[in-house]
Amino acid sequence: MILPGQQEPTGCDTFVALGAATASGQTIFAKNSDRPPEEAQPLELHERTTYPAGGVLKTHFVDLPQVATTHRNVGSRPYWCWGYEIGFNEHQVVIGNEALQSKLRPPGPTLIGMDLVRLGLERGATAAEAVDAMTGIVSAHGQGNFQHPGGQLTYDNSFIVADPKNAYVVETAGREWAVRKVKTQTGISNVLSIATDWDAVSPGAEAAARKLGWDGAGRLSFADAFTEADRFSGSGFMRRTRSCAVLDRHEGNTDAASMMALLSDHANGDADRSGFVTDIDPGRGICMHAEGGAGLSNTAASLVAELCDDGSRLPIYWTSMYSPCLGIFLPTFIEGDLPRALSFGDVGQSDYSVWWLFRRLVRAVLKAPERRVADVRSEWAPLQAAMVKTAYSVARDGRVMLEQGRPEDAKTMLTEYMVENLYSVVLVAATLLESYAGDRVPLASRPMTEIFLN
């Protein structure tokens, strides 16, 4: 959903490679959240919580019955809404959504896709459990493109829901839905992609398709029955073509670095077999930039999730704020506490928000891209390499501490590691911003324990 006066999002891309398709043998998930360029998207953690019987959950528009227990989860949340664009929980379930347009129009306010991302994370201890929770809620309460009296633009949604062993694509149209289990790897974008290859479909999907003109012959093509526009053209189709081609080319060798490169890629479907394109081309590619014209979205947040199903280490969630091609991915651990500065961000610019710091830095870089793009990337490269080098040993040490029954020691170690990394990144970003724009960054001048620790 978009606030009044804002343009509908024209982006978001999500992909997953199961262990059979990755170099490590572990599942890797990735997503870019593309949103209006001034819409802050802080990262926040919600603890595992137990609720009394009969409780009510208030999402953005709809009240739902609350469950007995919600899982600890971390999500990237547009500042105005309850739900998440991307997130992960304590059980290594990770979810991201995409905007779709179907032919169905709910009669009034319903759930929005970001609500469903958070609901899946709160209620699913496995990807399958999350899918069941999400599809059950869609059937009972609806979601989709409705006319809201406040003027907000809304849409249907698709999702990738993954855990260390399995992944699913879920696509919706009003109260109807289809689910396809991922075999090895896949990507989704702003187009319906589940045709006749679904593994499960909502009870009312076939009847709803008949009302829209399906003749009932053969197996229902969910995408063909419900898509509002040509699903084989446009930006979403081209970006999905690109992501799937890259995943195919890297099959068996996909790793966190290649997923980060794909999230930072500026090619479109015309270049689906090329190497990664690093030259910024606003309005094109998986990494989106709003500078290309009015109404364009900008990548607001990114996630690469390296899951683990063999107990050798903790999962590593690489998180990035604003344009990933000009930023850095921070190793994040749900077993620790998030640095506070990651969770700041509202309607207006904040001096103590990491999200707004990166928004300001990217704007400054793109005022003189011929010099500053290479400059900022060269600053991030050694920091990123250092984090990659240390993150896996930290993940292994954290797992050992948990197995030894030392959760508080693990929490302290992981929290301090995340804080130290973020503080180093903020100092570099602040120095660059001051040199480019003369802007002072109060966040960089405060004691690390005052702003970054909980």
pLDDT at residue 296 is higher than 90: no
Higher pLDDT, 284 or 386: 386
> Per DSSP, which regions of 43-175 are E strands?
43-46, 49-50, 56-58, 63-65, 69-70, 73-76, 86-89, 94-100, 156-162, 167-173
H helix or E strand, kind and range, residue 369: helix 369-403
Per-residue pLDDT at 393 exceeds 70? yes
Q: Which of 153, 238, 144 is nearest to 191 (CA)?
A: 238
Q: Are the CB atoms for 170 and 19 separated by under 8 Å?
A: no
CA atoms of 232 and 159, how far apart (whole Å): 19
The set of long-range contacts for 371-380, using a CB threshold of 8 Å and a minimum separation of 24, is: 372/436, 373/280, 373/326, 375/432, 376/326, 376/432, 377/326, 379/428, 379/432, 380/327, 380/328, 380/428
Taking the C-alpha atoms of residue 26 and residue 313, their distance in angstroms, rounded to an integer, is 11
Report residue 93 as tokens: 């379930």
* Residue 190: partners with Cβ closer than 8 Å, 6 or more residues away: 10, 11, 12, 98, 99, 100, 234, 235, 236, 239
pLDDT score for 5: 40
For residue 233, the model assigns a pLDDT of 84
Whether the pLDDT of residue 148 is over 60: the answer is no
Q: For the segment 395-417, what is each residue's pLDDT rounded down to a tens digit?
A: 999 999 999 999 999 999 999 99
pLDDT at 8: 44
Residue type, 259: M
Tokens of 2: 């978009």
Cα distance from N-terminal residue to C-terminal residue, the chain:
31
Contact between 156 and 101 under an 8 Å Cβ cutoff? The reply is yes
What residues are paired with 320 via a beta bridge?
302
**In the structure, what pLDDT confidence band is assigned to residue 229 with cuts at 50, 70 and 90?**
confident
- Which of 5-14, 138-147, 170-179 has the highest average model confidence (pLDDT)? 170-179
pTM of the model: 0.94
**Whether residue 244 lies in the annotated active site:** no
Q: Which residues contact 136 (CB under 8 A, 6 or more apart)?
A: none
Q: What is the pLDDT of residue 7?
A: 42
Amino acid at 30: A
* pLDDT-based confidence at residue 335 (cuts at 50, 70, 90): very high
Could you give all domains of the chain from N- to C-terminal order, each with its CATH number? 13-326 (3.60.60.10), 369-451 (no CATH)
- The residue-averaged pLDDT of 426-449 equals 84
Mean pLDDT, the chain, whole residue set? 91
Count Cα neighbours of 52 within 13 Å in the Cβ-side half-sphere.
1
pLDDT in tens, 149-198: 555 667 899 999 999 999 999 999 999 999 999 999 999 999 999 999 99
Q: Please provide the size of the chain in residues.
A: 454
The whole-angstrom separation of Cα 109 and Cα 62 is 7
Top-confidence range, 3-12, 136-145, 198-207, 237-246: 198-207
Count Cβ neighbours within 10 Å for each residue of 229-249 and write b for 16 or more, e otherwise.
bebeeebbbbbbbbbbbbbee
Question: Does the structure show a pLDDT above 50 at 211?
Answer: yes
The answer to whether 15 and 185 have CB atoms below 8 angstroms apart is yes
- Residue 360 amino acid letter: R
Mean pLDDT of 262-283: 80
Check pLDDT > 50 for residue 246: yes
Tens-digit pLDDT profile for residues 60-114: 889 999 999 999 999 999 998 899 999 999 999 999 999 998 998 887 788 999 9
Measure the CA–CA gap between 339 and 425, rounded to whole angstroms. Answer: 13
- In the structure encoding, which two tokens stand for residue 453, read together? 């620790």
Rg (CA), the chain: 21
Distance CA 298, CA 433 (A): 19
pLDDT at 153: 65
Structure tokens that stand for 435 in this block: 């040199």
Q: Which of 12, 81, 287, 308 is catalytic?
A: 12
